[in-house]
Protein backbone atom coordinates (compact mmCIF):
# COMPACT_ATOMS: atom_id res chain seq x y z
CA UNK A 1 0.00 0.00 0.00
CA UNK A 2 1.22 3.43 -0.86
CA UNK A 3 0.28 6.55 1.06
CA UNK A 4 1.09 7.44 4.64
CA UNK A 5 0.26 5.41 7.72
CA UNK A 6 -2.91 6.82 9.30
CA UNK A 7 -2.82 4.48 12.28
CA UNK A 8 0.43 3.35 13.86
CA UNK A 9 0.53 0.89 16.73
CA UNK A 10 3.87 0.01 18.31
CA UNK A 11 4.58 -2.73 20.86
CA UNK A 12 1.15 -2.38 22.35
CA UNK A 13 0.32 -4.63 25.30
CA UNK A 14 -2.70 -4.66 27.53
CA UNK A 15 -3.56 -6.21 30.87
CA UNK A 16 -6.99 -6.00 32.45
CA UNK A 17 -6.89 -5.91 36.22
CA UNK A 18 -9.19 -8.47 37.78
CA UNK A 19 -10.83 -6.96 40.86
CA UNK A 20 -11.83 -10.32 42.33
CA UNK A 21 -8.78 -12.55 42.00
CA UNK A 22 -6.21 -9.77 42.05
CA UNK A 23 -4.57 -11.36 39.00
CA UNK A 24 -4.68 -9.62 35.67
CA UNK A 25 -5.96 -10.76 32.30
CA UNK A 26 -3.31 -10.54 29.64
CA UNK A 27 -5.34 -9.43 26.62
CA UNK A 28 -2.82 -8.06 24.11
CA UNK A 29 0.88 -8.74 23.63
CA UNK A 30 3.33 -6.83 21.45
CA UNK A 31 1.02 -5.56 18.74
CA UNK A 32 2.69 -3.80 15.83
CA UNK A 33 0.34 -2.62 13.15
CA UNK A 34 0.01 0.09 10.55
CA UNK A 35 -3.04 1.07 8.60
CA UNK A 36 -2.35 3.19 5.53
CA UNK A 37 -4.46 5.82 3.90
CA UNK A 38 -7.43 4.41 1.97
CA UNK A 39 -6.64 0.94 3.22
CA UNK A 40 -9.18 -1.58 4.52
CA UNK A 41 -7.63 -3.76 7.20
CA UNK A 42 -9.64 -6.65 8.57
CA UNK A 43 -8.75 -8.36 11.83
CA UNK A 44 -9.88 -11.91 12.54
CA UNK A 45 -9.11 -14.09 15.49
CA UNK A 46 -10.64 -16.52 17.94
CA UNK A 47 -13.18 -15.26 20.42
CA UNK A 48 -11.68 -13.53 23.42
CA UNK A 49 -8.30 -12.91 21.78
CA UNK A 50 -8.40 -9.17 22.38
CA UNK A 51 -9.80 -7.74 19.13
CA UNK A 52 -12.31 -5.49 20.88
CA UNK A 53 -9.63 -4.49 23.36
CA UNK A 54 -7.44 -3.28 20.50
CA UNK A 55 -10.27 -1.38 18.89
CA UNK A 56 -11.27 0.26 22.17
CA UNK A 57 -7.71 1.40 22.72
CA UNK A 58 -7.57 2.94 19.26
CA UNK A 59 -10.98 4.53 19.81
CA UNK A 60 -9.63 6.07 22.99
CA UNK A 61 -12.27 4.37 25.12
CA UNK A 62 -9.70 2.26 26.97
CA UNK A 63 -6.53 3.82 28.40
CA UNK A 64 -3.30 1.93 27.68
CA UNK A 65 0.05 2.00 29.38
CA UNK A 66 2.45 -0.23 27.42
CA UNK A 67 3.38 0.71 23.87
CA UNK A 68 2.21 3.47 21.60
CA UNK A 69 -0.80 4.17 19.45
CA UNK A 70 -1.00 7.11 17.06
CA UNK A 71 -3.57 8.39 14.63
CA UNK A 72 -2.44 10.84 11.97
CA UNK A 73 0.76 11.36 13.94
CA UNK A 74 -1.01 12.20 17.22
CA UNK A 75 -0.71 10.02 20.27
CA UNK A 76 -4.10 8.66 21.30
CA UNK A 77 -5.51 10.11 24.53
CA UNK A 78 -9.23 9.56 24.88
CA UNK A 79 -11.90 9.50 22.19
CA UNK A 80 -12.05 12.07 19.42
CA UNK A 81 -13.80 12.82 16.14
CA UNK A 82 -10.75 11.74 14.12
CA UNK A 83 -11.66 8.13 14.92
CA UNK A 84 -15.23 7.14 14.11
CA UNK A 85 -16.58 3.92 15.59
CA UNK A 86 -19.34 1.63 14.38
CA UNK A 87 -20.24 -0.53 17.33
CA UNK A 88 -21.58 -4.06 17.28
CA UNK A 89 -24.74 -3.17 19.17
CA UNK A 90 -26.97 -0.43 17.93
CA UNK A 91 -25.34 2.69 19.28
CA UNK A 92 -27.54 5.16 17.44
CA UNK A 93 -29.71 7.30 19.69
CA UNK A 94 -33.38 6.24 19.95
CA UNK A 95 -34.46 9.85 20.56
CA UNK A 96 -33.04 11.18 17.32
CA UNK A 97 -34.54 10.73 13.90
CA UNK A 98 -32.47 9.06 11.17
CA UNK A 99 -31.35 12.41 9.76
CA UNK A 100 -30.49 13.84 13.18
CA UNK A 101 -28.53 10.71 14.09
CA UNK A 102 -26.52 10.89 10.89
CA UNK A 103 -25.84 14.60 11.34
CA UNK A 104 -24.99 14.25 15.02
CA UNK A 105 -21.23 14.26 14.56
CA UNK A 106 -21.38 17.46 12.53
CA UNK A 107 -23.70 19.03 15.08
CA UNK A 108 -21.21 18.23 17.83
CA UNK A 109 -18.44 19.78 15.74
CA UNK A 110 -20.55 22.94 15.29
CA UNK A 111 -20.69 22.61 11.51
CA UNK A 112 -23.14 25.18 10.03
CA UNK A 113 -26.72 23.91 9.63
CA UNK A 114 -26.88 24.29 5.86
CA UNK A 115 -23.75 22.26 5.26
CA UNK A 116 -24.86 19.64 7.76
CA UNK A 117 -28.15 19.24 5.94
CA UNK A 118 -26.44 18.82 2.60
CA UNK A 119 -23.95 16.24 3.86
CA UNK A 120 -26.58 14.31 5.77
CA UNK A 121 -28.64 14.01 2.61
CA UNK A 122 -25.58 12.81 0.73
CA UNK A 123 -24.96 9.99 3.20
CA UNK A 124 -28.61 9.09 3.52
CA UNK A 125 -28.61 8.54 -0.23
CA UNK A 126 -25.31 6.66 -0.07
CA UNK A 127 -26.62 4.08 2.41
CA UNK A 128 -29.98 3.89 0.68
CA UNK A 129 -32.19 5.35 3.40
CA UNK A 130 -33.91 8.05 1.37
CA UNK A 131 -37.46 8.51 2.54
CA UNK A 132 -36.60 7.46 6.11
CA UNK A 133 -35.05 10.77 7.18
CA UNK A 134 -37.67 11.55 9.80
CA UNK A 135 -38.18 8.06 11.14
CA UNK A 136 -37.01 7.08 14.60
CA UNK A 137 -34.70 4.08 15.12
CA UNK A 138 -37.43 1.94 16.68
CA UNK A 139 -39.25 2.11 13.36
CA UNK A 140 -36.30 0.59 11.48
CA UNK A 141 -35.11 -2.98 10.93
CA UNK A 142 -31.81 -4.16 12.38
CA UNK A 143 -30.08 -3.82 9.01
CA UNK A 144 -31.37 -0.29 8.55
CA UNK A 145 -30.18 0.67 12.01
CA UNK A 146 -26.67 -0.48 11.14
CA UNK A 147 -26.85 1.52 7.90
CA UNK A 148 -27.66 4.57 10.00
CA UNK A 149 -24.72 3.77 12.27
CA UNK A 150 -22.37 3.49 9.29
CA UNK A 151 -23.70 6.70 7.74
CA UNK A 152 -23.42 8.51 11.08
CA UNK A 153 -19.75 7.61 11.36
CA UNK A 154 -18.96 8.41 7.71
CA UNK A 155 -20.78 11.73 7.83
CA UNK A 156 -18.52 12.99 10.63
CA UNK A 157 -15.61 12.38 8.23
CA UNK A 158 -13.10 10.70 10.56
CA UNK A 159 -9.47 10.05 9.62
CA UNK A 160 -10.05 6.36 10.26
CA UNK A 161 -13.23 4.39 10.71
CA UNK A 162 -13.22 1.60 13.31
CA UNK A 163 -15.78 -1.16 13.00
CA UNK A 164 -16.24 -3.88 15.64
CA UNK A 165 -18.24 -6.77 14.19
CA UNK A 166 -20.81 -4.30 12.85
CA UNK A 167 -22.87 -6.92 11.03
CA UNK A 168 -22.77 -9.68 13.64
CA UNK A 169 -26.24 -8.92 14.97
CA UNK A 170 -28.18 -9.09 11.68
CA UNK A 171 -29.44 -12.16 9.81
CA UNK A 172 -27.28 -13.87 7.19
CA UNK A 173 -29.18 -12.51 4.20
CA UNK A 174 -29.03 -8.91 5.40
CA UNK A 175 -25.38 -9.36 6.29
CA UNK A 176 -24.48 -10.20 2.68
CA UNK A 177 -26.38 -7.15 1.45
CA UNK A 178 -24.67 -4.92 3.99
CA UNK A 179 -21.24 -6.30 3.05
CA UNK A 180 -21.89 -5.59 -0.62
CA UNK A 181 -23.05 -2.12 0.33
CA UNK A 182 -20.06 -1.44 2.53
CA UNK A 183 -17.86 -2.40 -0.35
CA UNK A 184 -19.61 0.06 -2.61
CA UNK A 185 -19.36 2.75 0.08
CA UNK A 186 -15.65 2.11 0.52
CA UNK A 187 -15.19 2.55 -3.22
CA UNK A 188 -17.18 5.77 -3.19
CA UNK A 189 -15.61 7.36 -0.09
CA UNK A 190 -12.14 5.78 -0.07
CA UNK A 191 -12.20 5.69 3.72
CA UNK A 192 -9.43 4.22 5.82
CA UNK A 193 -10.97 1.38 7.80
CA UNK A 194 -10.00 -0.97 10.60
CA UNK A 195 -12.57 -3.72 10.62
CA UNK A 196 -12.95 -6.42 13.25
CA UNK A 197 -14.80 -9.63 12.62
CA UNK A 198 -14.94 -13.25 13.63
CA UNK A 199 -16.12 -14.19 10.14
CA UNK A 200 -13.34 -15.39 7.87
CA UNK A 201 -15.47 -14.90 4.77
CA UNK A 202 -16.25 -11.33 5.72
CA UNK A 203 -12.56 -10.57 6.28
CA UNK A 204 -11.54 -12.07 2.94
CA UNK A 205 -14.36 -10.35 1.11
CA UNK A 206 -13.80 -6.86 2.52
CA UNK A 207 -10.14 -6.56 3.47
CA UNK A 208 -7.24 -5.31 1.42
CA UNK A 209 -5.20 -6.89 4.16
CA UNK A 210 -6.28 -9.42 6.73
CA UNK A 211 -4.58 -9.67 10.11
CA UNK A 212 -4.94 -12.98 11.91
CA UNK A 213 -4.72 -12.86 15.69
CA UNK A 214 -3.49 -15.65 17.92
CA UNK A 215 -5.34 -16.83 20.98
CA UNK A 216 -5.19 -14.71 24.10
CA UNK A 217 -2.91 -12.92 24.80
CA UNK A 218 -3.67 -11.57 21.34
CA UNK A 219 -0.65 -11.34 19.07
CA UNK A 220 -0.49 -10.83 15.35
CA UNK A 221 0.05 -14.26 13.88
CA UNK A 222 0.17 -13.49 10.17
CA UNK A 223 -1.08 -11.00 7.72
CA UNK A 224 -2.45 -11.83 4.32
CA UNK A 225 -2.78 -9.50 1.37
CA UNK A 226 -5.95 -9.86 -0.59
CA UNK A 227 -5.39 -8.47 -4.04
CA UNK A 228 -8.86 -8.27 -5.46
CA UNK A 229 -9.88 -4.99 -7.06
CA UNK A 230 -12.85 -3.41 -5.26
CA UNK A 231 -14.97 -3.43 -8.39
CA UNK A 232 -14.74 -7.22 -8.56
CA UNK A 233 -15.84 -7.66 -4.97
CA UNK A 234 -19.49 -8.56 -5.33
CA UNK A 235 -20.88 -11.54 -3.46
CA UNK A 236 -22.57 -13.13 -6.43
CA UNK A 237 -19.21 -13.42 -8.22
CA UNK A 238 -17.18 -14.55 -5.25
CA UNK A 239 -17.74 -18.29 -5.46
CA UNK A 240 -15.70 -18.54 -8.66
CA UNK A 241 -13.08 -15.96 -7.80
CA UNK A 242 -9.92 -18.01 -7.14
CA UNK A 243 -8.18 -15.16 -5.34
CA UNK A 244 -11.06 -14.91 -2.89
CA UNK A 245 -11.40 -18.65 -2.23
CA UNK A 246 -7.64 -18.99 -1.82
CA UNK A 247 -7.42 -16.13 0.67
CA UNK A 248 -10.47 -17.36 2.53
CA UNK A 249 -9.16 -20.92 2.85
CA UNK A 250 -5.78 -19.70 3.98
CA UNK A 251 -7.26 -17.47 6.68
CA UNK A 252 -9.61 -20.25 7.72
CA UNK A 253 -6.68 -22.66 8.17
CA UNK A 254 -4.80 -20.15 10.29
CA UNK A 255 -7.78 -19.39 12.49
CA UNK A 256 -8.56 -23.12 12.84
CA UNK A 257 -5.01 -23.76 14.01
CA UNK A 258 -5.55 -21.24 16.78
CA UNK A 259 -8.83 -22.75 17.84
CA UNK A 260 -7.59 -26.38 17.73
CA UNK A 261 -4.36 -25.60 19.54
CA UNK A 262 -6.72 -24.29 22.17
CA UNK A 263 -8.24 -27.76 22.48
CA UNK A 264 -4.86 -29.39 23.02
CA UNK A 265 -4.26 -27.41 26.18
Ligand X SMILES: Nc1ncnc2c1ncn2[C@@H]1O[C@H](COP(=O)(O)OP(=O)(O)OP(=O)(O)O)[C@@H](O)[C@H]1O
Nearer to ligand X by Cβ, of 135 and 198: the residue is 198
Nearer to Mg ion by Cβ, of 26 and 96: the residue is 26
Chain residues 119-158 in contact with other proteins, contact rule CB under 8 A: 136-139, 152-153, 156
CB of 48 to ligand X, least distance (A): 4
Query: How many Å separate Cα 211 from the centre of its chain?
Result: 13
Q: Which of 48, 80, 128, 142 binds ligand X (CB under 6 A)?
A: 48
53 in contact with Mg ion (CB under 5 A): no
- The piece of 80-88, 112-120, 196-204, 224-232 that touches other proteins (CB under 8 A) is 80-88
DSSP string, 94-160: TTS-HHHHHTHHHHHTT--HHHHHHHHHHHHHHTT-TT-TT--GGGS-HHHHHHHHHHHHHHT--SE
247: number of Cβ within 10 Å: 22
Helix axes 142-155, 113-126, angle to 10 degrees: 140
CB of 244 to ligand X, least distance (A): 23
93 contact, one of ligand X, Mg ion, other proteins, none, CB 5-8 Å limit per kind: other proteins
Chain residues 39-68 in contact with other proteins, contact rule CB under 8 A: 59-61
> How does 132-159 read in b/e, with b if 16+ C-beta sit within 10 Å?
beeebbeebeebbbbbbbbbbbbbbbbb
Q: Which of 14, 51, 104, 215 binds other proteins (CB under 8 A)?
A: 104
The DSSP code for 19 is T
Nearer to ligand X by Cβ, of 38 and 199: the residue is 199
Q: Which of 12, 35, 69, 92 binds other proteins (CB under 8 A)?
A: 92
Give the integer Cα–Cα distance in Å for 214 and 257.
9
- The piece of 51-59, 117-125, 130-138, 185-193 that touches ligand X (CB under 6 A) is 51-59
CB of 145 to other proteins, least distance (A): 12
Residue at shortest CB range from ligand X: 52
Nearer to Mg ion by Cβ, of 52 and 101: the residue is 52
16 in contact with ligand X (CB under 6 A): yes
Chain residues 174-233 in contact with ligand X, contact rule CB under 6 A: 198, 216
DSSP string, 229-263: -GGG--HHHHTT-HHHHHHHHHHHHHHHHHHHHHH
219 in contact with Mg ion (CB under 5 A): no
DSSP string, 175-228: HHHHHHHHHHHHHHH---EEEE-S-HHHHHHH-SEEEEE-SSSB-EEEEEE---
Query: Which residues in this chain contact ligand X in the complex, by CB under 6 A?
Result: 16, 25, 27, 45, 47-53, 198, 216
Amino acid sequence: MSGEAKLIIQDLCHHYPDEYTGESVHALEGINLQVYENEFVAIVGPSGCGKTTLLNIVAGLLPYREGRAMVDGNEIHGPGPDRGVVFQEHAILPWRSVARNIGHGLELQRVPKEETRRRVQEYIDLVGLSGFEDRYPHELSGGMKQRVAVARTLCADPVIMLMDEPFAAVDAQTRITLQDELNRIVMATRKTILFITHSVEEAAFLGDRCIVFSRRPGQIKTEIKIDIPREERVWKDMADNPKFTEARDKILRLVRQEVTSDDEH
